[in-house]
Structure 1
Amino acid sequence: MAYSAEKLSEEKVFKDPVHRYIHVRDRVIWDLIGTKEFQRLRRIKQLGTTYLTFHGAEHSRFNHSLGVYEIIRRIVDGVFNGRPEWNSDERLLSLCAGLLHDLGHGPFSHSFEKVFDLDHEQFTQEILLGGTEVNQVLAKVASDFPKKVAEVIAKTYKNKLVVSLISSQIDADRMDYLQRDAYYTGVSYGHFDMERILRVMRPREDQVVFKQSGMHAVEDYIMSRYQMYWQVYFHPVTRSAEVVLTKILHRAKDLHEKSYSFKFDPFHFYSLFDGKVTLEDYLRLDEAVFLYYFQIWQDEEDEILSDLCRRFMNRNLFKYIEFDPAKEYKKLHELSSLFVKAGIDPEYYLVVDSSSDLPYDFYRPGEEEERLPIHLQLKNGDIRELSRLSEIVESVSGKRRTDHKLYFPEDMLMDDSVNHNIKQHIRELLEL
């Protein structure tokens, strides 16, 4: 029997709090789960610093990746199976792409990427195509199979229906993380009727469409996503933790560039500091490694690095106020000058952070990030874009919401023993 068609002698299951069970019968999928690159995802949290806000948010990229695989398995083995618009030869490719779509994420993903100018999608491609255990498994299916999986994840694969399963405005990736993140954070916002959505899902040409009778379930999904972004993903305390984390990494990099002599040699970071990260270097990094350094850097002689690490490890985060940098730039300049006079480095302790989200968008050709809209299938077979039929979705469609906050260490401003008058002036400007 060909490796691609090989089944396990007995179905394996993972007990899952979101999907109840995750079912694995394909030998390829089971072998991919066992690779060291996939097992590494157990050591990368799905929600980064969110556990410092919602204490239950300790779940990993591993959990989520299995969840995405399971949703796609249900679609291709159930919803799409036997339909003429679906090519069953794409089944294994779809399952592998869903399982491996987040393979290249690093520790505290987005903060880490920003500081060191990295791209997790690029590293996902390198893992799939490089000298890895994952590549060895995929290449056993066919010599060009790793490339096909990479193309699906990169959204360049010729069959756009396959791509849409893991990358569209309603896909297996989003359907899993909204429910999973809601479960682990304990909030009610991210729940929607996925069973109903799967029942009304249909394959059509180059994308998934949904029967008009299921429109309300799709509306619920859109609004659940909207609420999750503003109540969980952009929570100001989580953003504060990300600000502190980002500044730790910036400070460590700056010290390295100034030939600072670390008490504890940060050899895991050298390739990051020098901008020469190999795939081997990258795969050695996980959140346990980062937290080890944050723990020991609390004892560094550099006061800024040690202070920031203490703040992160002990959850003594920055406070925040609503702040619009476009309208209050003069105030920001004045605050920066006063921070310097007070002996507090504004580069690390006065930070404007912005969050922005577009909950749903219709098709805008030529946009930098083209979003394939959600389409409904009418009873007569015609296709209509969702916001044309749904007043609820139309109300948020194309409307980007942006939020700005100014973060600072309130405790440093309350220490009146030094620079009392300056700190008092700062507190007045911040309306503390």
Structure 2
Amino acid sequence: MIEKVFRDPVHNYIHVNHEVIYKLINSKEFQRLRRIKQLGTTSYTFHGGEHSRFSHCLGAYEIARRITKSFEEKYPDKWNKEESLLTMVAALLHDIGHGAYSHTFERLFDTDHEEMTCEILTNPETEVNALLKQVAPDFPDKVANVIRHTYPNKQVVQLISSQIDVDRMDYLLRDSYFTGTNYGQFDLTRILRVIRPTDSGIAFLESGMHAVEDYVVSRYQMYMQVYFHPASRSMEVLLQNLLNRAKVLYAGEKEFFAKSSPRLLPFFEHRFNLADYLALDDGVMNTYFQSWIDGPDRTLSDLAQRYINRKVFKSITFSAEDETQLDILRNIVAEVGFDPEYYTAIHHNFDLPYDVYRPESTKKRTQIEILCKDNSLIELSQLSPIVASLSGTIHGDSRFYFPKELLEETGIFAAYNETFLSNIHNDHFNPGEKHEH
């Protein structure tokens, strides 16, 4: 086919040379990703972060295309070129199963985006499945096995899912670009120059170790400064409490929800299928939330307007030993007139920036290997003091969220302000401190 290109702010041009890739991009299941935000509620804090999972998946594909092209040309003894198309397709489709506000929605309605991805790949009713079968009858299952990490070729699996894969490399650069931050920047060109296929997977030349080190640090900084931002998590809490309230109300208000949000009914009733799942996207959900503002339930209406109009909850950090004291704060919230079930929340965000392979772990990680001049492989943290300092250590915090009104100096909440703040024993919290939105 004649090469197609997509102009991209991160990779300049995304090149498509395979007809099946181009057809997959134009499938209805893949086009749906245009309507799913990559960053979910983070766009309420970093207003530029409105990019979609569509653009991210194209970017992951482009990185996979560059790597497989290099492997074919330079390392034919280590890389089987028959695996190149599979790798590119898996990169392109790795997130196709993400749903509307995916991670929050998943927790509430017991869905799993990886399972839904594999369902889209293997279900004979999808356009994606029909296109994959044109490559080979077993090709849909091969792509699904890569997503499930069960495909026998570790090189392919590690390029798609590991501690340094095409997915992470694209979303760090892309999210950094669109949020207007610099935390996620790293030298992709250098990393692609030093990546190598090995008998056990992929590795990176020792001469390029500092570029890999920079990537690990960039990922850590993006999590701490962008993905774990308190205001973004506040919007996630609002979304969670809003949908929880809708779930509780559904049994007694079926007619209201049938009119205002019909595509959510299969999820309220725990009977959804793939077609129901694909019919939801962020735009559909936001339209439903706006309709709930005019609904009869005051709590649902108020939570919906808070979410739509970005009326964020405030928060304090707390440690595990302080968690029992949070009931005091919940009681104050209740005394003011807010239902603590829907106007407070505990939100934990923790990340393991890097870790070595631990066979005893339930979630085993593929460690990053450095290829030395004598062809030996050494795990990254053994060579990098910076990565060693991050390795195996969990970073993040736990926050208690509550309505902003409790910190107001005037009005009906004033009497509770002093009492509320006197119960907060936390050096990290300062109600007068200025934060980014």
Equivalent residue number for residue 435 of structure 2: none
Contact 1:49 1:242 in 2 (8 A): yes
Correspondence 1:233 to 2:227: yes
Q: Structure 1: how far apart are the matches of 2:421 and 2:394? A: 32
The code of the aligned residue for 2:49 comes to A
Aligned to 2:98, what secondary structure does the other structure show?
Answer: coil
Contact 2:312 2:404 in 1 (8 A): no
Q: What aligned pairs does 1:116-127 form with structure 2 within 5 A after superposition?
A: 116-127=109-120
Q: 1:34 aligns with which of 7, 26, 51?
A: 26
Q: 1:242 aligns with which of 233, 236, 244?
A: 236
Q: CA deviation at 1:377?
A: 0.7
Contact 1:81 1:88 in 2 (8 A): no
Correspondence 1:295 to 2:290: yes
Q: Structure 2: how far apart are the matches of 1:225 and 1:257? A: 43
Contact 2:346 2:398 in 1 (8 A): yes
Cα pair distance change 1:342/1:261, threshold 3 Å: farther
Contact 2:406 2:420 in 1 (8 A): no
Q: TM-score, normalised by structure 1?
A: 0.95
Q: Structure 2: how far apart are the matches of 1:260 and 1:349? A: 24
Equivalent residue number for residue 16 of structure 1: 8
The code of the aligned residue for 1:85 comes to K
Q: What aligned pairs does 1:358-377 form with structure 2 within 5 A after superposition?
A: 358-377=352-371
Equivalent residue number for residue 268 of structure 1: 263
Correspondence 1:95 to 2:88: yes
1:288-314: per-residue Cα shift (whole Å, max 9, x none)? 100001111111121111111111111
Q: CA deviation at 1:231?
A: 0.5
Equivalent residue number for residue 150 of structure 2: 156
Cα pair distance change 1:185/1:422, threshold 3 Å: closer
Q: What aligned pairs does 1:198-217 form with structure 2 within 5 A after superposition?
A: 198-217=192-211
Please list every run of 5 or more consecutive structure 2 residues that lacks an aligned counterpart in the other structure: 425-429, 432-437
The code of the aligned residue for 2:43 comes to Y
The code of the aligned residue for 1:302 comes to D
Aligned to 1:228, what secondary structure does the other structure show?
Answer: helix
The code of the aligned residue for 1:277 comes to F
Aligned to 2:146, what secondary structure does the other structure show?
Answer: helix
The code of the aligned residue for 1:128 comes to L
Greater alpha carbon shift after TM alignment, 152-161 vs 403-412: 403-412
Q: Structure 1: how far apart are the matches of 2:324 and 2:23? A: 58
Q: 1:55 aligns with which of 47, 65, 69?
A: 47
Q: 1:323 aligns with which of 315, 318, 321?
A: 318
1:161-193: per-residue Cα shift (whole Å, max 9, x none)? 101111011111110000000000010111101
Equivalent residue number for residue 434 of structure 2: none
Aligned residues: 423
Q: CA deviation at 1:135?
A: 0.2
Aligned-pair Cα RMSD in Å: 1.6
Contact 1:53 1:237 in 2 (8 A): yes
Q: 1:113 aligns with which of 106, 113, 121?
A: 106
Contact 1:182 1:191 in 2 (8 A): yes
Contact 1:108 1:287 in 2 (8 A): yes
Correspondence 1:178 to 2:172: yes
Aligned to 2:203, what secondary structure does the other structure show?
Answer: strand
Aligned to 1:214, what secondary structure does the other structure show?
Answer: helix
Q: 1:384 aligns with which of 367, 378, 382?
A: 378
Q: CA deviation at 1:132?
A: 0.1
Equivalent residue number for residue 427 of structure 2: none
Q: 1:44 aligns with which of 36, 41, 60?
A: 36
Contact 1:80 1:203 in 2 (8 A): no
Cα pair distance change 1:212/1:258, threshold 3 Å: same
Contact 2:260 2:292 in 1 (8 A): no
Contact 2:213 2:387 in 1 (8 A): yes
Percent of residue pairs bearing the same amino acid type: 52
Aligned to 2:3, what secondary structure does the other structure show?
Answer: strand
The code of the aligned residue for 1:321 comes to I
Q: Structure 2: how far apart are the matches of 1:400 and 1:184? A: 27
Q: CA deviation at 1:342?
A: 2.6
Equivalent residue number for residue 334 of structure 2: 340
Q: CA deviation at 1:244?
A: 0.5
The code of the aligned residue for 1:40 comes to R
Q: CA deviation at 1:335?
A: 1.8
Aligned to 1:45, what secondary structure does the other structure show?
Answer: coil
Q: TM-score, normalised by structure 2?
A: 0.93
Aligned to 2:220, what secondary structure does the other structure show?
Answer: helix
1:198-253: per-residue Cα shift (whole Å, max 9, x none)? 11110001311011011110100000000000101111110011010111111111
Q: Structure 1: how far apart are the matches of 2:415 and 2:66? A: 65
Q: Structure 2: how far apart are the matches of 1:143 and 1:234? A: 42
Aligned to 1:125, what secondary structure does the other structure show?
Answer: helix
Aligned to 1:402, what secondary structure does the other structure show?
Answer: strand
Contact 1:79 1:199 in 2 (8 A): no
Cα pair distance change 1:368/1:258, threshold 3 Å: farther
Contact 1:64 1:177 in 2 (8 A): yes
Contact 1:342 1:423 in 2 (8 A): no
The code of the aligned residue for 2:422 comes to E
Q: Structure 1: how far apart are the matches of 2:243 and 2:174? A: 29
Q: CA deviation at 1:355?
A: 0.5
Correspondence 1:407 to 2:404: no
Q: Structure 2: how far apart are the matches of 1:177 and 1:46? A: 9
The code of the aligned residue for 2:244 comes to H
The code of the aligned residue for 2:55 comes to N
Cα pair distance change 1:417/1:402, threshold 3 Å: closer
Aligned to 1:90, what secondary structure does the other structure show?
Answer: helix
